[in-house]
Amino acid sequence: MFQSKNTTHRGLNIIIVGYGKVGSALIEQLSQEGHDITLIDTNSEKIQAATNLYDIMGVTGNGASYSVQMEAGVEGADLLIAVTASDELNLLCCTIARRVADCAAIARVRTPDYSNEVGYLRDKLGLAMIINPELEAAKEASRILAMPTALEVNPFAHGQAEMINYKVPEGSILDGLAIMDLSRRVKCNILICAVEREKEVHIPSGTFTIQAGDVISFVASRKTARKFMQEIGVNTHKVKDTLIIGGGKASYYLANQLLLMGVNVKIIEINRKRCEELSILLPKAIIINGDGTDEELLSEEGIENVESFVPLTGIDEENIMLTLHAKQVSKAKIITKINRINFKNVIDQLDLGSLIYPRYITSEAIIAYVRAKKDSMDSNIETLYHLFDHRAEAIEFRVDEKSDVTNISLAELPLKKNLLIAFINRNGTIIIPSGNDCIKVGDTVMVVTTHTGFHDIRDILR
C-alpha cells in the first residue's frame, strides 16, 4: 500500500460478518490496505478458507450473538460491516455492535420493503451506512441507459459531474487526435483523465494520442458531458424501451428507475407467483410469465427490435449467454450483471459491453467510508471508484482545512506521476482545472491515479 511522506495512517480494526461475494471482495481489498480484519461466519469451512487465503482472524458463530461479537473483539473495533444473506440479521448485528461498543456499523440491506426506509433505519439505529447492492446496480444501469453509447457513467459532486467511459470506434474524430489538440477540435470543457489501450492503463499527458479501440475515461459537468458526446458525433438520447430477463430485486429496482425516466419496460420471469407480485408492484411495466432463455419466446417478445436488453437472472452463465445471443440478433444496448468474478479474463475477452458487478459497487462505497474514517482532519473522501479492473482509482476529496496543497497553483504543486486532478467543485461549480487554478478550503477535488490506497488529499504530493 502506498503511503504519503506527509501523513501516517494506522489500520482500522474491522469486523466483517458474512463471507459471501461482498464479504470476500471487502476482505481482499481491506486486507491489502493494511487493516486488521476479523471475520465472523456460521460456516467453519468458510472461516478456514478465508484465514488460509488472507492474514485475518476468524470466529465461527452467529454474528448477531453478543458473546460471538465479544470473542471477535467488538469492544476494540472501529467498524463492523454486516453482509450476510439476511437483511434482518445484518441490522441486528449492527444494532448489537452499536450498543456494546463505540464502533461504527454498516449493514447491507436489499429488500425493497426497507429501501424506502433507509434514512429512518440508519438514523434510528445509529448506523454509518446502509447499502443496497441491487439498488445501486440498478442506478448504475439506468445511468448507462440514459446515455447508451457510454460503457459506464459514474457520478461525482452529488451528481453535478460525471466520469464517462467510452470506447473510441473506427472513424471517430478522436482517432489520431493528441489530447492537447482536443479543445481546438471540440469546443467542450472536458478532461480525458485515463485511457485503457490493450489492457494497459495510461494517465495521459497532453501529447498522448488517442486511437480507435481505446477506452477513454473523461470528466465533465453533467450538461457538458452530453454536449461533448454530441460534438464527437455520438447519439446521447436515452433508450425508448428495455427488455429485462429475470424478475428479482435488481429487476424491480431497475424497472422502477426506467419507468420514472419514461422508458417502456418489459420483464420476462419464469416464476408465476413472482410475476403476479411484479404486476402489482410495477403496474406500468409489461410482465411476461415464461422462460427468458427460450429463443422463441425472446423473438416473440421483440428482442430483435428492442433498444436495450438487460439479463438479470441470478446465474452469471445465463446472463452471459443471453448477452451473446442478443448481440447476434439485435442492435440493442446491452448491460450484463456479473455476480461472481471467476474466469474474469475469459469474460473480458467476450466483449460483453457494459458490465455491472454489484459486489464491487458495494465494496467501493464501503472502502470509501473506511478510508475517510482513517483520514486526518484536513480532508475526507466523498466518493471512490475503481477503474479498469482496479488498476486506477478516481477519488473525490473534500478539503476541510489549509494544507500543503491549498492556495498554490496546480502548476507549482509537486504532484506524483501517473496522477491527474480531474476537476475542482467549488460551491457547486465544476472547474476543469488548468495549471493556474488552485485548490481552496471548502472545495471537493477529484483525483485520478494509478496509485492505490490514497486516504488524504496530501497523498497526491511527491
Give the domain CATH number at 346.
Answer: 3.40.50.720
> What is the per-residue pLDDT for 351?
77
Residue 106 falls within a domain, yes or no?
Answer: yes
Query: Is 249 found in the same domain as 142?
Result: no
Query: Is 323 found in the same domain as 245?
Result: yes
Interatomic CA distance for residues 444 and 254, integer angstroms: 30
Residue 394's nearest CA partner among 362, 358, 414, 367 is 367
Interatomic CA distance for residues 84 and 455, integer angstroms: 28
Residue 6 falls within a domain, yes or no?
Answer: no
- 444-449 and 13-17 beta bridge pairing: unpaired
Query: Is 350 found in the same domain as 258?
Result: yes
Query: Is 246 found in the same domain as 224?
Result: no
- Structural domain for 177, as ranges: 137-231
Q: What is the DSSP string of 108-155?
A: E---HHHHTTHHHHHHHHT-SEEE-HHHHHHHHHHHHHHSTT-SEEEE
Residue 147 falls within a domain, yes or no?
Answer: yes
Query: Is 349 found in the same domain as 245?
Result: yes
Interatomic CA distance for residues 32 and 308, integer angstroms: 38
Which residue, 77, 108, 131, sits at the end of a domain?
131
C-alpha cell at 85: 444473506
Query: Is 186 found in the same domain as 121?
Result: no
SS3 450: coil
Residue 2 falls within a domain, yes or no?
Answer: no
**Mean pLDDT, 10 residues at a time, over the chain (462 residues)?**
40 94 91 93 96 96 96 96 95 95 91 84 91 91 93 90 93 93 88 93 94 95 90 89 96 96 97 97 97 96 97 92 95 90 71 84 86 65 85 91 94 94 94 94 94 88 91
DSSP label of 309: E
Could you tell me the end-to-end alpha-carbon distance of the chain, in angstroms, rounded to an integer?
15
- 419-426 and 444-449 beta bridge pairing: antiparallel
> What is the per-residue pLDDT for 114?
84
Which residue, 356, 388, 411, sits at the end of a domain?
356
Q: For 94, phi and psi rounded to 5 degrees?
A: -65, -40
C-alpha cell at 183: 479543445
- 131's CB contacts (< 8 A; 6+ apart) are 106, 107, 108, 109, 362, 365, 366
Query: Is 141 found in the same domain as 118?
Result: no
Domain count, the chain: 4
